[in-house]
Structure 1
C-alpha cells in the first residue's frame, strides 16, 4: 500500500536483469505509459543511449548515493529527476527500489524532497542493523539509527559530533579511523567481515559495509556504514563446523575428520601407528539396559581412553562401537603395543551406568605406516584385518597386521567369488544325516547339511565356506536354495519323518525369512509340522528383540524351532526364558567324554532336565559309541544323532535308508 499509493514515482527492478518488477501509479504518470507497458521495459530504456553504460556500471557496483539524472519519458521528452535508491529483497530476488523526483519544477521538488527525507529516515530507523554516517574529513558521527544505539549502548544525542577516539579505546579507534580513510580513498564499497567491537554486552563480531558519499562536486564528504551483529550467527556456524567434524555423543573427532588427519599424516614424513578398536559386548548392554545406557557407556569409554592418549595422539569415534587412534611421536611397535594393552585393560574394568555395573572389553588391530602402507586405504584395510584377527583369538586381545592376513583375506575373496559362481553351476548339494529316537531306534528326522564339490579343489569343508558366505551376504540366497531343495526332498518321505534345516544369523536380517519359509513349504507341499529350523545362540546376540519376533512368526506357521549347540554359549539359559524352543540340541563337546567325565555327564543330565521342564525335545549330537547311546537312553534323552547312527548321506541314500527301515519293521540300522 505504501509503495503503490506513494505520490513519489517509485519502481523496483531486478539488479541482475535490470528489468522492472514493480512500479507505482506515480511512476506510470511520470513516464507516460500504463503499468503493463512499463513492466516490459528495463532500467536502461529510461535513460539516454549515451548514459546507459554509465548507469549499468553504477548498478553493478551497487552505487546508491542520491544523484540527479535525465529520464526519457515514453513520448521522448527528457526531464531531470533526483533519484534515491536502496538495495532490497523483493519476491526472493535481489532488487533495488528507486524514488524519482522531477526537479524540473524546483519548488515541487523541494516539497517532495522533504517528504522523501522523512520516508528515508523511517527506513533507516527500521533497519535492524546499525546504520551510521561520519564526516569524511574529521571522522565525527553525524547519524546513528536506533539499532546502533542498542548495539553501542549510547544514545545518538550523546554520540553525534564525537569521533571514535571519544568512544572506544585508542587501539580500536585507530583501527576504525584507518579503515574509514581507506574506504573513502578507494571510492568503492568495502566489506569488513568479523570485525571485533567491544560493547557494553561484551565483545561482538560485526559484518560492516562502508562506502564514501561524495558532495555535489564529487569530493569525499561522508562515510556511510552498515554494521550487522553476526556474533550469534558466527557461533552457530562454528558449532555447525564442529558438529560436522565431531561425534555428537562423545565430542571426539568423527570418521570424516579422522580420515582427513590420516590423509595429512600419510603425506608427511613422520611415522605413526593406526589403531582400530572395537568394543566387546556393547550390543548386549544396549539391548538389556537401553540406548540411553549405551550412549552413557560410550561417553565413559571415550573419557577413559582419552586418559591414556599421548600429547600427539588422536582418538576418534568412527561409528557405533568402533574407535580409531593415530599414535604419533614418540612412536614404535613397543609404545603402540603398550597403548593397546593399556586401552584393553582400562576398558575391561567395570563401568557404573546409572547404578548398573556393566563389564565390556575391546579388541584392537594395529598397523604401522612405515611397514604396512603409506596410503589411508591401505592402512585402514590392514588395521581392520588385524582387528579381525584379534577378535578371532578371543575377546580382549590386540594384533599387529601381518601380510599373511592379507593373503588369507585374498583367498577368502577368491573363495567368495567362486562360491557365487557355484550357485549358477550347481556345485552345491545337500546331504542328510539321520536323527533317531533313543527309545525305539526309529529315524524321526534328517538334518540337511550343505556341501560344496569344487571342480578343482574337490570337497570344500563347510567350516571354510560358510563363514565366507555369511560375511559376503551370499548366505541369504544359499539359505533360500537349501530350504527349498530340502523341503522338496522331504516331501517324498513318509509323513512321520521330519526335516531339520540350519539357519544362519544373517538370514534374520531384512524381512524375507518368514516369506522364504512359507514359499518353500507351499512349493514342496511339505506340512509345516514336519519342518524344524535350527538356530544357534548367535541369532539372539544381535538384534535379539527383532529376531525373537521373527522366531514367533515362524512358530506361528507351525514349524518347530530348535536351539543348536546348547550349553556352549554364555547366555544359553537366558534364551530359554525369552522364547519357547521346541528342541534343545546338546553340543557334541559334552557327549564325547560323557561316559568318562562326571562333569560332562552332569551337564548332559542338567540339559535333559531343562528340556523336560520346558517341554522341549532334547537331541544329543556327535554320538559315536554304543556306550554313549546307552547312557543317553538311560538319562532320558529323547533323540540322538552321530556317526554311530548314520553319516551324512545323499538324498537317494536317505530314501533307501527310510525304505530299509520300513522293511526291518522300524528297527535302527547302523551306517
Structure 2
C-alpha cells in the first residue's frame, strides 16, 4: 500500500492531490475510447492471422470475450463520463481503474503468449509485434496515470522480454531487447511528462489560489469602497448605485406610481453636539445612529450614509403617502430616543424629505433634488418631521428657479438697493445705529423680498458678489451720518465660511471712509452651526479690524449659550418671535428677562427686535431692556431718506412716544 501511495501521488499536498486526481480522471476519460480501440483493433488482427491455425477457443472465443469486455467498458464510459463524483468516490474510481488495467493487461498478455506456439515464424513475429505495439499505445493513453502506466508496462514488458529471450531465437531475442529499450525510453518520457503534468496542475492551483485571493481582495475593496467606515452602512457611492439599479427597470416600463421613493434624512442639532462635545463624541453618536437605522432596514427599505450627518433612504413597494409618513415617524422616533454614551448623553431630532417616483422625478438627479427640497422645507417649516415632495413644491421650485435666473442676470448696481431701520436707545432717547436691509426690484419680477432672494443667492453662490455690492452701498450711505451713529450690516453664513469672501469684506471695509469701529457685523446662529471653527476665525479677523460683532435672531438657533461663551460677541439681538406676547405672556417675559440679565452680566448690548407697540416697549423697559428696534421706533426707509427722516430732526416722534408713558 505504501508503494501505491508513493506512486499514485498520495504523499503530496491534499489540495494538489485532489486536483491532480480530478485532472487525471478527466484526461483518462478522454483517452478511454482510444485505449480500447487500440486493444480491440490489434486483438482482432492477431486473431484473424491465427484463425484456423490456433484452437478455436484461442483464435475466436478468447479474443471475442476480450473485445466484448472492452466494448462494455466503452459503454460504461459513455454512461458515466458526465457524472459528478465526490472526492471519495473519485479516489475509489481511480483505484479501481488501476487494478482493472492490471487485470486487463494480464489477460491480454496471457492470451497473446498462448498463441505463440501456433503458426509459422510470421505468426509468431506478429504476436511479438502485437504485444510491443499494444503496450506502447496503451502507455501513451495512460500518460496521465503514472502508476497505472508503469504497472501495465511491467505486466507486459517483463513477461514479453523473458519469454522471447528464452526462445534463443536471435531475431526474437533482438526484438525483445529492442522492445525493452523502447520501454525504458517510454518510461523515462512518461515520468517527465507526468512531472510536467503535475507541475501544470500545481501551477493552475496556485493561479486559481492567487485569482481567488485577488478576487477576495477585490471583493473586500469593493465592500469597503461601498461601505461607510464609521457606521457600517452603505455609503454615498453605494446609495446612488443602488438607486440607479432600481430606477433602470422602472424607466423602461410603463409608469408604476408608488413603486419607489427616496428619502434624505438630516440629524437636526448634530453640529451643536460636535461643537459642544467634540468630534470623537459626535462620531459615537453617528455610530449609534447607524446602528438604529440598520435595525430599521428591511427588504423594502435600505439606509445609507451620504454625508456628515445626512442619510439616504431607498423605499421599494410601499410608498403611498400615508405609508411614507408612517415610515418617517418610525425613523424619527428611533433617532429621538436619548443617546446614553459613556462620555455623556445627547438628544437629536430628525428631519426627513421624501420624493416619489415618478411624481417627483424620473431620474436620479431629479429625485435627489426633490428629496433635498422636501428636507429643506421640513427643516424650515416643521423641523423634526417628515415632508413628501408635492406639486406645490414643484411650483415653488420653478418660482425659485426663475428668481435664480433673474438674479444671475441682475445688474446689482441698478437693481439692488438698501433700506435702513433705526436701532433706538430708549434710555438715551437717541438713535444708536441703523440696520441695512437689502431690497431688490427686478425688471421682470418686480419687488422680491430679501427672505426669498437672499437664500437663493446663497444656494447658487451669488451671495458673495451681492454682499460686496451691498456693503459698499451701506458704507457709502453711513459716511454722511453723525460719527456716533453706527451701521449694522448682515453677513451671510457663506461669507463667514469662505476665506475669499471674507477678504473681500475686509477690503471693502478698509476702502470706505467709515471707521471700522462704527460697523456692527450681524451674524446668525445658523452661520455658526454650519462651520463653527471657520466662523470663529472669520469673527476674530473682523474684531481685529476694529468692527463689532452682533449675534442676530438669538434664541432661535441650536447653540445660543455656546456661541455667546466661545465667540467674540459684542451685541445680542433677541428675535422678534419672543416679543409678540411680551406684555401678556409670563413665559415670554421670563425668557426675555433671562437674556437681558445674561447680556448685562457678560457686558454685552442687548437689542430687542420686533417692537411694534408702546405696551411691548413698556414691558421690555420693566425687564431692563433699553435698546430696541421695530416699527414703533421707525420703519425702514431708503438711503436717500435717512438723513431727512432720522438725522436732520432726530426722532421727534420716537421721543414723544417714549415720553408718553
TM-score category, normalised to shorter length: 0.5 to 0.7
User: Counterparts of 1:333 and 1:622 in 2: how far apart (Å)?
Assistant: 39
- Closer, same or farther in 2 for the Cα pair 1:358/1:594, shift >3 Å? closer
Distance verdict in 2 for CA 1:617–1:220, change over 3 Å: closer
Give the superposition deviation at 1:184: 12
- Do structure 1's residue 291 and structure 2's residue 272 form an aligned pair? no
Larger-gyration structure (1/2): 2
Find the residue that maps to 1:258 and give its secondary structure: helix
Count how many residue pairs are aligned between Structure 1 and Structure 2.
Answer: 489
CA distance in 1, matches of 2:554, 2:374: 31
CA 617–166 in structure 1, closer or farther in 2 if over 3 Å, else same: closer
Question: Do the aligned partners of residues 377 and 626 (structure 1) sit closer, same or farther apart at CA in structure 2, a change above 3 Å counting?
Answer: closer
Contact 2:525/2:558 (<8 A) preserved: no
**Pairing 1:500–2:500 present:** no
Say whether the 8 Å CA contact 1:646–1:670 is kept in structure 2: no
Distance (whole Å) between structure 1 residues aligned to residue 367 and residue 599 of structure 2: 50
CA contact (8 A) 2:495 2:502 kept: no
Give, in whole Å, the separation in 1 of the partners of 2:630 and 2:322: 49
The 5 A counterparts of 1:59-78 are: none
| Residues 1:268 and 2:115 are matched in the alignment | no
How far the C-alpha of 1:371 sits from its partner, in A, is 4.2
Match of 1:603 in 2: 591
Gaps of 5+ in 1: 1-156, 186-197, 199-211
**CA–CA distance in 2 between the matches of 1:234 and 1:335?**
41
Report the counterpart of residue 22 of structure 2 in structure 1: 175
Contact 1:434/1:443 (<8 A) preserved: yes
* Contact 2:543–2:568 (8 Å) recurs in 1: no
Which residue in 2 is equivalent to 1:256?
237
Aligned pair partner of 1:377 in 365, 375, 378 = 365
C-alpha spacing 1:347/1:598, structure 2 compared with 1 (3 Å): closer
Partner of 2:574: 586
In 2, the alpha carbon distance for the partners of 1:632 and 1:444 equals 18
Corresponding residue number in structure 1 for 2:386: 398
Spell out the pairing of 1:225-374 with structure 2 (5 A cutoff).
225=200, 226=203, 227-228=206-207, 229-230=209-210, 232-268=213-249, 271-329=259-317, 332-369=320-357, 371-374=359-362
Shift of 1:415: 0.4
Distance 1:248 1:558, change over 3 A: same
Q: Judging changes above 3 Å, is the alpha-carbon distance between structure 1 residues 373 and 583 closer, same or farther for their aligned structure 2 residues?
A: closer
Question: In terms of mean alpha carbon deviation, does 525-534 or 249-258 score higher?
Answer: 249-258
Per-residue Cα deviation, 1:327-372 (whole angstroms, up to 9, x for no partner) = 2346654444433221111111112233421111222222333544
CA contact (8 A) 1:164 1:173 kept: no
Of 154, 157, 163, which residue of structure 1 is paired with 2:9?
Answer: 163
Q: Does structure 1 conserve the Cα–Cα contact (< 8 Å) formed by 2:553 and 2:575?
A: yes
Match of 1:655 in 2: 643
In 2, the alpha carbon distance for the partners of 1:665 and 1:614 equals 33
Deviation at 1:529, TM superposition (A): 0.9
Alignment map for 1:524-539 (pairs within 5 Å)? 524-539=512-527
Over 3 Å counting, the alpha-carbon distance change for 1:373 and 1:580 in structure 2 is closer
Are residues 183 and 562 of structure 1, via their aligned partners in 2, closer, same or farther at CA, if it must alter by over 3 Å?
Answer: farther
Distance 2:329 2:654 in 1: 59
TM-score between the two structures when normalised by the length of structure 1 = 0.65
Residues 479-490 of structure 1: pairs in structure 2 closer than 5 A:
479-490=467-478
Structure with the higher strand share, 1 or 2? 1
Shift of 1:167: 6.0
Judged with a 3 Å threshold, the aligned counterparts in structure 2 of structure 1 residues 167 and 596 are, in CA distance, closer, same or farther, namely closer
What SS is found at the alignment partner of 2:637? coil
Q: Which has the higher contact order (CA 8 A, sep 6+)?
A: 2
Q: Does 1:448 align with 2:436?
A: yes
